[in-house]
Structure 1
Amino acid sequence: MRIRFAPLRLPLERRLQTLGVLQWMLSFLALGQCCLAAFILLLLTDYWYIAALYAGWLYLDLDTPAKGGRRSARIRNWAVWRYFRDYFPITLVKTAELDPKHNYLFGFHPHGVLVAGAFGNFCTEATGFSRLFPGITSYLLMLPFWFKLPLFREYIMCGGLVSSEKRSANYILNQPGGGHAAVLAVGGAPESLDARPGALTLQVLGRKGFIKLALKAGAHLVPVFSFGENELFNQVANPRGSLLRTVQEKLQKVMGLAMPLFHARGVFQYSFGLVPFRNPVYTVVGKPIPVEKNTSPSREDVEELHKHYLDQLVSLFEENKTKYGIAECSHLVLI
Structure 2
Amino acid sequence: MRIQFAPLNVPLARRLQTAAVLLWVLTFLVIAQVCVVIFVILIFYNYWFLYIPYLTWMYFDWHTPEQGGRRSNWVRSWTVWKYFNEYFPIHLIKTWDLDPSHNYIFGFHPHGVLVAGAYGIFCTNYSDLEKLFPDFTVYLHMMPYWFRYPIFREYMMSVGPVSVSERSISHVLSKEGGRNISVIVLGGAKESLYANPGNFTLYILRRKGFVKMALTHGAHLVPVFSFGENDVFKQVSNPKGSWLRTVQDKLQRIMGFALPLFYARGIFQYSFGFLPYRRPIHTVVGRPIPVQQTQNPSQEQIDELHRTYLKELRKLFEEHKGKYGIPEHETLTFL
Q: Give the TM interval when normalised to the shorter protein.
A: over 0.9
Question: 2:184 matched to which residue of 1?
Answer: 184
Whole-Å separation in 2 of the counterparts to 1:111 and 1:302: 23
Whole-Å separation in 1 of the counterparts to 2:325 and 2:79: 29
Maintained 8 Å contact 1:90/1:282: yes
Whole-Å separation in 1 of the counterparts to 2:10 and 2:71: 35
Whole-Å separation in 1 of the counterparts to 2:41 and 2:98: 48
Query: How far does the alpha carbon of each residue in 1:41-93 deviate from its partner, in whole angstroms, 9 at most, with x for none?
Result: 11223522211110000000000000110011111121111100110000011
Query: How far does the alpha carbon of each residue in 1:293-330 deviate from its partner, in whole angstroms, 9 at most, with x for none?
Result: 10110111101100110110001000000001101111
Question: 1:71 matched to which residue of 2?
Answer: 71
Question: 1:199 matched to which residue of 2?
Answer: 199
TM-score (norm 2): 0.99
Question: 2:104 matched to which residue of 1?
Answer: 104
Maintained 8 Å contact 1:100/1:134: no
Question: 2:155 matched to which residue of 1?
Answer: 155
Letter in 2 for 1:32: A
Letter in 2 for 1:249: D
TM-score (norm 1): 0.99
Whole-Å separation in 2 of the counterparts to 1:50 and 1:196: 44
Question: 1:271 matched to which residue of 2?
Answer: 271
- 1:19-38 matches, within 5 Å, as 19-38=19-38
Letter in 2 for 1:203: Y
Question: 1:240 matched to which residue of 2?
Answer: 240
Whole-Å separation in 1 of the counterparts to 2:37 and 2:119: 25
Q: Which moved more, 1:230-239 or 1:38-47?
A: 38-47
Question: 2:139 matched to which residue of 1?
Answer: 139
Question: 2:92 matched to which residue of 1?
Answer: 92
What secondary structure is seen at the aligned counterpart in 2 of 1:108?
A: strand
Residue 95 of structure 1 deviates from its aligned partner by 0.6
What secondary structure is seen at the aligned counterpart in 1 of 2:168?
A: helix
What secondary structure is seen at the aligned counterpart in 1 of 2:184?
A: strand
What secondary structure is seen at the aligned counterpart in 2 of 1:107?
A: strand
Residue 127 of structure 1 deviates from its aligned partner by 1.0
Whole-Å separation in 2 of the counterparts to 1:235 and 1:310: 27
Question: 1:47 matched to which residue of 2?
Answer: 47
Maintained 8 Å contact 1:111/1:185: yes
What secondary structure is seen at the aligned counterpart in 1 of 2:193?
A: helix
Letter in 2 for 1:240: K
What secondary structure is seen at the aligned counterpart in 1 of 2:182?
A: strand
Residue 189 of structure 1 deviates from its aligned partner by 0.3
Question: 2:220 matched to which residue of 1?
Answer: 220
Q: Which runs of 5+ in 2 are unaligned?
A: none
Question: 2:17 matched to which residue of 1?
Answer: 17
Residue 252 of structure 1 deviates from its aligned partner by 0.4
Letter in 1 for 2:15: R
- 1:302-313 matches, within 5 Å, as 302-313=302-313
Whole-Å separation in 1 of the counterparts to 2:135 and 2:151: 30
Whole-Å separation in 1 of the counterparts to 2:99 and 2:42: 48
What secondary structure is seen at the aligned counterpart in 1 of 2:212?
A: helix
Question: 2:2 matched to which residue of 1?
Answer: 2
Question: 2:164 matched to which residue of 1?
Answer: 164
Letter in 2 for 1:307: R
Maintained 8 Å contact 1:43/1:49: no
Verify: 1:229 aligned to 2:229, yes or no. Answer: yes
Question: 1:116 matched to which residue of 2?
Answer: 116
Question: 2:289 matched to which residue of 1?
Answer: 289
What secondary structure is seen at the aligned counterpart in 2 of 1:282?
A: strand
Maintained 8 Å contact 1:123/1:138: no
Whole-Å separation in 2 of the counterparts to 1:156 and 1:80: 15
Letter in 1 for 2:306: H
Whole-Å separation in 1 of the counterparts to 2:217 and 2:74: 31
Whole-Å separation in 2 of the counterparts to 1:46 and 1:109: 46
